[in-house]
Amino acid sequence: MPTVKLRFPGGRYHATPWGHHVNEGLIEWPPSPWRLLRALIASGFTHQGWGEAPTVARRLIDKLATVLPVYHLPPASAAHSRHFMPVIEGKSQRTTLVFDTWANVGDGVMFIHWPCELAVEERELLGQWVAALGYLGRSESWVEAQLTDENPHEWNAVPCQPGEHRNWEWEQVSVLAAIPPHDYLFWRAQQVSAAFSPKAKPGRGKKIPENEGPYPPDLWSCLTKDTSWWKGHGWSQPPGSQRVLYWRRRDALEVAVPPEPRSFHAPPVEFMLLALSTPSGQTAALEPITRTLPQAEIFHRTIVANTAQRGRIYCPELTGQDEQGQPLHDRHSHAHTIPLALNDRGRIDHILIYCPAGLTHAAQQGIRRSRETWRKKGPNLQVALVASGSRTDLYQLPREVLRFLLPIIAAPDGATIWESVTPFVPPRFLKPRGKNTLEGQVLAELLSRGLPAAVEIEYDRPLTIHLRHFIRRRTHGGVPPKVDVGFGLRLRFAQPIRGPLLLGYASHYGMGLFRACSSKLSTWHHNDSPSSSSDPVPELQADEWPQLLRV
């Protein structure tokens, strides 16, 4: 006797009872047997590539339609949203109020049991159908289903038996179910016989062959007919269907919140990768990579606003501040917002949120709520979560994404040579000697992050010129840089380190980003640099600073 176990990943079940309008705000609970059979058939056609339904599939549906299933319903509450949908009539447009109603089931599990015996091949086919089931009811009612041998402690939605009366804790609901196959064939034979009898009214069905017309040949055909077909033949409900009464618990669908709302706290994650797109879907309409700093600031403000509760926020891994609003001294382990051009076309199409200390549940929720972000010009950018987790999880991303992301996070064993992707902006005034030289400031930045000192720091003038168009000044509340100039650098370490590696001014907003370089230092070259790998790299002299500032 098959039992199906259903989970709802979205926490919602959307379905309107038969014979009711969507704006009545009613919910079909439990899911009707008719809906279940149609969903299973649709799963078979969609995922098994049938041209013609196999015999075993028809036998399986006939067996399931012969009996009425019993249910174990999880605690649920009724919820709805209201939308004003546009209605265009000729050249005018108006709006109409539409209700979207659903059962809020949270993490609850539903069991459906058919009291019938299945052959081995029928049970295998049912298991394939169930495993491929993507949704039940409306398309936003996502489900994860499987055949199971589990039995719940109670079946709390069961068919009504003749003469059965239950106490006040139960109520009756009407659902749509299939007529047993033999009963349908008997009924159809009577209808066809009456339609083609000599006493039939003139013109009533006499022009239609017996095996066609408004009477499908079997129950399988009834279940596979679409709404327009049976409405076109004047049916008020699908042929082969019937109304049946079920007993269910009176509190099966509460108006208030369920007594045990789901409480889920995601474990901290180190990375969250998000994809950006425009409403038109064109990559060329995305922001150029030179706007790394302002776009990172804008998106950071978006996620902070979405994390705030009643206008206040305490999320140190996002804000970088403690409860008193003072900067954290955490070796830069709070969140870095890193815009990336993974399409290799110089356009920001992803944002990597990197937090060595770990993003808590509240921060993750704020980032997940960020469905769009604005920009300087043009429509807002759409945001979608691609992946989240540890560094190991990022290595499991699809190859076409990982091959562009890998230089930023480095291979699992790290890298010893790193080169600038965005300009390094010194956090303090540059001095020709002492600890505030360019080399001294790079070493200080590495030390403040708990990283080993670089054994070689090389300044590359052609790369610096290539990066000169990057915006280097914060515009949303941040202080300007001490020296408004960006440098292209290459760093070499004695031991491999792993990324992301960000140093200098505004490093939490994508500036001073480096990427791992697997080739030897002497053969390094930048694809877009006007110089070649054989060109000597000049030393940075004090008299070159005014020229670099003009660049």
Please, are residues 108 and 75 in contact by the beta-carbon 8 Å criterion?
yes
Weakest-pLDDT range from 225-234, 373-382, 506-515, 541-550: 541-550
**pLDDT bracket for residue 263 (50, 70, 90):** low
Instruction: Tell me how far apart the 2 most distant CA atoms of the chain are, in Å.
Output: 113
| Residue 394 exposed, middle or buried by CB count within 10 Å (0-12, 13-18, 19+) | buried
What is the torsional sign of CA 469, 475, 476, 481?
Answer: positive
Weakest-pLDDT range from 322-331, 438-447, 486-495: 322-331
| Residue 47 exposed, middle or buried by CB count within 10 Å (0-12, 13-18, 19+) | middle
Q: What is the DSSP string of 56-116?
A: HHHHHHHHHHHS--EEEPPPEEEEEEEEEEEEEETTEEEEEEEEEEEEE-TT-EEEEE--S
Asked if omega into 356 is within 30° of 0 (cis), the reply is no
Average pLDDT rounded to a whole number, residues 210-231 = 75
> The tokens of 32 are what?
């009707």
Share of the chain above pLDDT 90, in %: 19
- pLDDT value for 516: 92
Q: Which residues pair with 515 in a beta bridge?
A: 419
This prediction's pTM: 0.51
The answer to whether residue 545 scores a pLDDT higher than 60 is: no
How wide is the angle at C-alpha 229 spanned by C-alphas 98 and 206, nearest 5°?
A: 145
Each residue's pLDDT tens digit, 400-453 = 788 888 899 998 889 999 999 999 999 999 898 888 899 999 999 999 989 999
The sheet carrying 92-104 orders its strands as 12-13, 92-104, 76-89, 253-254
Task: Catalogue all structural domains in the chain, each as residue range(s) with its CATH number.
Answer: 3-179+246-254 (3.30.70), 181-239 (no CATH), 265-404 (3.30.70), 410-551 (no CATH)
> The tokens of 323 are what?
């409860």
Each residue's pLDDT tens digit, 161-199 = 888 888 888 888 888 888 888 888 888 887 777 766 555
Backbone angles phi, psi at 247, to 5 degrees: -90, 135
- pLDDT value for 120: 87
Written as one letter, the residue type at 192 is V
Please, are residues 516 and 460 in contact by the beta-carbon 8 Å criterion?
no
The answer to whether residue 529 scores a pLDDT higher than 50 is: no
Share of the chain above pLDDT 70, in %: 88
**pLDDT bracket for residue 200 (50, 70, 90):** low
The answer to whether residue 104 scores a pLDDT higher than 50 is: yes
Residue 260 to residue 75: CA distance in whole angstroms: 8
Residue 184 to residue 259: CA distance in whole angstroms: 43
> The tokens of 489 are what?
């650098």
- Can you say how many angstroms the Cα of residue 210 is from the centroid of all Cα atoms in its chain? 50
Average pLDDT rounded to a whole number, residues 328-355 = 87
Please, are residues 481 and 473 in contact by the beta-carbon 8 Å criterion?
yes
Residue 186 to residue 169: CA distance in whole angstroms: 38
| Residue 133 exposed, middle or buried by CB count within 10 Å (0-12, 13-18, 19+) | buried
Please report which helix (H) or strand (E) contains residue 461, including its range. Answer: helix 461-466
Weakest-pLDDT range from 91-95, 128-132, 328-332, 520-524: 520-524
Residue 487 to residue 548: CA distance in whole angstroms: 9
- Which residue, 440, 408, 411, 418, is CA-closest to 427? 440
The answer to whether residue 260 scores a pLDDT higher than 90 is: no
- Can you say how many angstroms the Cα of residue 473 is from the centroid of all Cα atoms in its chain? 34
Q: What is the DSSP string of 165-233?
A: ---TTEEEEEEEEEPPHHHHHHHHHHHHHHHTSTTSPTTSSTTS-TTSTTS-SSHHHHHH--HHHHHHT
- Which residue, 299, 220, 260, is CA-closest to 53? 220
